[in-house]
């Protein structure tokens, strides 16, 4: 056997268990080797005793993650032992109608709950709602023809289904499924004509149901949010559905009276430590959605600054710090979700008008009276937490709810006022065009002199939308700033159409502005205040509840791939991150590809965000970056939009596409649609393609992720 000094082994990076085995075959030749052998033996013993003599797991570690609120009957969502067979659920609960919902932002979910409630109280039909992700889609085939199924589903992005629709979507698109000949159904879709694939999801769902033999009660209904018509589109479809119920199915309309599905009652036996004080409720997300998101954590806003010079408009840049949250990471192109609180004035208004200001902190428990009802608000809690953190009390009150609120009115005059407003579409439209009608304001207008003591908390919990996080594109690169993601937020302050002096303030963006102003010891420009310390004072020191959501809006793997980026307003945010990353890659000596950035805003002197930073990156990148601007309100020049500039530089755009460029669009959906039209027209003119050839090319590049969009509205 060949021998060599054992001491040489200590210079190599060999695992302890391998060193122990190797030591059997080497022969020590001196003091140094014996010393090395002793070190190896000690290292091996130390390694093998891990978990026994040292680094033992803490047997009480689980207590750090245990939620005392979930003991003694507390809830945080659906229980795991509920059946996933929807036919069995209908039979067990005695329901005749199930309203399935597929929702990304909560609108379709809200419609489903409203419809199911109205079916029960107005038509006497035992009804339930069903999250499409809660049930095995194959069991829909077991629903007998004595029952009805209604589908309310939304479309977002490139004709995509919502996260909670994923399993059902895969099932309905598979050929050779079981027969649905027993299924009677109706369907309603939510979409926006600013997107290319308007209401594609409901169209595919209906086509799949028909293919499998299901029988439609009426033509599919569709909402168009492009002009804010979703609410009235839903109500018109609902009225048509009720006509079918009456004329074809023989349902009898009954006097509508509120029948609670939840029991919300005070319980003073509970201690403050038992309560959910307002921490975000993340247990209602669909599995697919939850898998794409990090846990919600309290993140410090380490820096914030204003990006606009216009005095009447605000745009924030905020850096958040992940240093104290080691499990949180992000990648360039991801989104950051912020969970807001409601403004003090609206919380106080609602507590006062209900007559419960003095009992705002009394513990309340929420229990389901109907086994088919899913509790989606953490319980136990308090009225203060409900109105400040869990319910969207700033949202406008829909016409259905205006009418229903009349039954709780403290005076006959208030009842008449609300009944008329809720039944008259034109009167309601005129009213909301000149008055910001959230719940507190509406109740105050209807009856300012008396408390609405007959309006139960259970009705508000059942009917009001729940607060959801708002998502912002991360505007920093994870390569350059791995522990400090930044966001870019336009502060939403919108005047009403017929009353410009009446402003509607976006909840989350103004919440962030208040945090920013607090750090400078300055008031909010519009005097809006929030309880910035947060539930249980968890947000003291300029913190916010937030989480990271994974995105597919990513840079190509090869740095030398050309980029075409088109963004308007805060749509510049992810491209700031892309360019920062390309700068860093170039600094370390790697080759980067050519880039064109099209950026549009109103006026270069007011809302050209990150102007100086872009100029610095232009210096670093040199001729690798071409910045093309479009200004829609620059004095003395014709209006230009990014799609106009894309058309003007069509030859360069097509050349980069032919060289393998990745194309990115970020901003409003209407802008993205116009950009795609501009590129399509250029491809036609340059290559002599037909419309079908352009469509085929468009589908192909999107399938390969060579064309990506991060759009909204």
Q: pLDDT (tens digit, 9 = 90+) per residue, 545-568?
A: 999 999 999 999 999 999 999 999
Q: Is there a contact between 39 and 30 (Cβ–Cβ < 8 Å)? A: no
State the average pLDDT over residues 405-410: 96
State the average pLDDT over residues 357-370: 96
Terminal Cα-to-Cα distance of the chain (whole angstroms): 76
Q: Is the pLDDT of residue 126 over 60?
A: yes
Q: Is there a contact between 669 and 713 (Cβ–Cβ < 8 Å)? A: yes
- Nearest alpha-carbon partner for 305 in 478, 483, 487: 487
Distance of CA 632 to the CA centre of its chain: 30
pLDDT of residue 666: 97
pTM score, whole prediction? 0.84
Spatial separation of the C-alpha atoms in residues 410 and 427, rounded to whole Å: 22
Per-residue model confidence as pLDDT tens digits over 458-510: 999 999 999 999 999 999 999 999 999 999 999 999 998 888 888 899 999 99
Retrieve residue 688's tokens: 């002599």
Spatial separation of the C-alpha atoms in residues 92 and 99, rounded to whole Å: 16
- Nearest alpha-carbon partner for 391 in 273, 278, 539, 297: 278
CA neighbours closer than 13 Å in the CB half-sphere of residue 702? 15
Give 8 or 299, the one with higher predicted confidence: 299
- Nearest alpha-carbon partner for 534 in 273, 342, 302, 335: 342
Q: Is there a contact between 474 and 493 (Cβ–Cβ < 8 Å)? A: no
Retrieve residue 14's tokens: 């060999």
The lowest-confidence range among 154-158, 373-377, 465-469 is: 154-158
* Cα angle value 529/526/493 (rounded, 5°): 105
Q: Is the pLDDT of residue 12 over 50?
A: no
Q: Is the pLDDT of residue 39 over 70?
A: no
Per-residue model confidence as pLDDT tens digits over 164-211: 999 999 999 986 778 999 999 999 999 998 888 899 999 999 999 999
Spatial separation of the C-alpha atoms in residues 377 and 545, rounded to whole Å: 17
Q: Is the pLDDT of residue 78 over 60?
A: no
Q: Is the pLDDT of residue 91 over 50?
A: yes
Q: Is the pLDDT of residue 701 over 50?
A: yes
Q: Is the pLDDT of residue 227 over 90?
A: no
Spatial separation of the C-alpha atoms in residues 246 and 368, rounded to whole Å: 30
The lowest-confidence range among 8-12, 192-196, 241-245, 531-535 is: 8-12
Spatial separation of the C-alpha atoms in residues 710 and 96, rounded to whole Å: 41
State the average pLDDT over residues 290-309: 92
Spatial separation of the C-alpha atoms in residues 328 and 320, rounded to whole Å: 12
Q: What is the mean pLDDT of the chain?
A: 89
- Nearest alpha-carbon partner for 386 in 410, 421, 338, 351: 351
The lowest-confidence range among 30-39, 87-96, 320-329, 539-548 is: 30-39
pLDDT band per the 50, 70, 90 thresholds, residue 36: low
Spatial separation of the C-alpha atoms in residues 181 and 163, rounded to whole Å: 27
Spatial separation of the C-alpha atoms in residues 331 and 150, rounded to whole Å: 39
pLDDT band per the 50, 70, 90 thresholds, residue 28: low
CA neighbours closer than 13 Å in the CB half-sphere of residue 651? 0
């Amino acid at each position: 056997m060949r021998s060599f000094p054992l001491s040489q082994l200590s210079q190599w990076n060999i695992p302890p268990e391998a060193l122990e085995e190797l030591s059997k075959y080497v022969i020590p030749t001196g003091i140094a080797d014996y010393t090395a052998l002793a070190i190896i033996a000690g290292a091996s013993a130390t390694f093998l005793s891990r978990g026994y003599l040292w680094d033992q797991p803490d047997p009480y570690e689980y207590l750090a993650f245990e939620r005392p609120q979930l003991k003694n009957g507390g809830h945080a969502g659906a229980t795991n032992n509920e059946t996933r067979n929807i036919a069995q659920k209908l039979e067990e609960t005695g329901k005749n109608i199930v309203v399935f919902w597929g929702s990304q932002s909560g609108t379709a979910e809200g419609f489903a709950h409203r419809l199911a409630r109205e079916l029960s109280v107005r038509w006497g039909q035992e009804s339930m709602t069903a999250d499409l992700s809660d049930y095995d889609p194959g069991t829909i085939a077991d629903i007998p023809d004595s029952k009805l199924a209604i589908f309310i589903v939304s479309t977002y992005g490139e004709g995509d289904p919502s996260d909670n629709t994923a399993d059902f979507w895969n099932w309905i698109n598979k050929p050779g499924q079981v027969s649905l000949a027993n299924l009677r159904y109706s369907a309603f879709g939510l979409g926006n004509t600013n997107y290319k694939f308007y209401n594609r999801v409901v169209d595919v769902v209906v086509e799949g149901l028909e293919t499998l033999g299901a029988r439609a009660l009426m033509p599919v209904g569709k909402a168009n949010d492009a002009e804010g018509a979703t609410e009235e589109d839903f109500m018109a479809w609902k009225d048509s559905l009720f006509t079918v119920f009456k004329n074809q199915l023989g349902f009898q309309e009954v006097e509508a009276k509120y029948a609670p599905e939840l029991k919300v009652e005070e319980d003073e036996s509970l201690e403050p430590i038992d309560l959910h004080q307002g921490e975000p409720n993340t247990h209602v997300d669909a599995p697919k959605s939850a898998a794409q998101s990090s846990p919600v954590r309290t993140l410090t806003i380490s820096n914030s600054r204003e990006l606009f010079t216009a005095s009447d408009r605000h745009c924030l840049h905020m850096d958040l710090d992940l240093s104290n949250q080691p499990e949180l990471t992000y990648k360039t192109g991801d989104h950051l979700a912020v969970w807001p609180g409601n403004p003090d004035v609206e919380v106080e208004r609602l507590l006062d008008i209900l007559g419960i200001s003095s009992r705002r902190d009394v513990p309340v428990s929420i229990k389901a009276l109907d086994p088919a009802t899913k509790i989606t608000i953490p319980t136990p809690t308090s009225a203060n937490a409900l109105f400040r953190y869990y319910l969207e009390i700033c949202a406008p009150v829909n016409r259905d709810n205006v009418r229903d609120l009349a039954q709780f009115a403290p005076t006959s005059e208030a009842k008449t006022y609300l009944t008329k407003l809720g039944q008259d579409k034109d009167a309601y439209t005129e009213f909301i065009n000149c008055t910001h009608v959230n719940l507190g304001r509406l109740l105050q207008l209807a009856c300012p002199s008396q408390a609405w003591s007959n309006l139960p908390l259970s009705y508000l919990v059942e009917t009001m939308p729940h607060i959801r996080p708002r998502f912002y594109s991360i505007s920093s690169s994870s390569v350059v700033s791995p522990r400090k993601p930044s966001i870019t937020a336009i502060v939403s302050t919108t005047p009403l159409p017929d009353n410009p002096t009446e402003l509607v303030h976006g909840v989350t963006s103004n919440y962030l502005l208040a945090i920013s102003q607090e750090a400078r010891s300055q008031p909010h420009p519009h005097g809006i205040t929030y309880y910035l310390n947060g539930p249980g004072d968890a947000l003291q020191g300029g913190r916010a509840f937030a989480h990271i959501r994974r995105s597919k809006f990513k840079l190509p793997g090869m740095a030398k791939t050309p980029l075409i980026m088109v963004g308007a307003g805060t749509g510049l945010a992810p491209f700031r991150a892309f360019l920062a990353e390309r700068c860093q890659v170039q600094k370390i000596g790697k080759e980067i590809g050519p880039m064109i950035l099209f950026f549009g805003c109103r006026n270069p002197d007011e809302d050209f965000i990150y102007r100086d930073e872009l100029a610095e990156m232009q210096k670093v990148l040199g001729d690798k970056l071409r910045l093309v601007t479009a200004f829609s309100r620059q004095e003395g020049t014709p209006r230009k939009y990014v799609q106009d500039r894309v058309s003007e530089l069509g030859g360069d755009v097509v050349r980069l596409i032919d060289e393998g460029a990745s194309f990115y669009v970020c901003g409003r959906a209407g802008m993205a649609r116009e950009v795609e039209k501009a590129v399509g027209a250029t491809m036609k003119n340059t290559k002599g393609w037909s419309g079908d050839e352009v469509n085929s090319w468009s589908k192909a590049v999107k399938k390969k992720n060579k064309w990506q969009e991060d759009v909204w509205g």
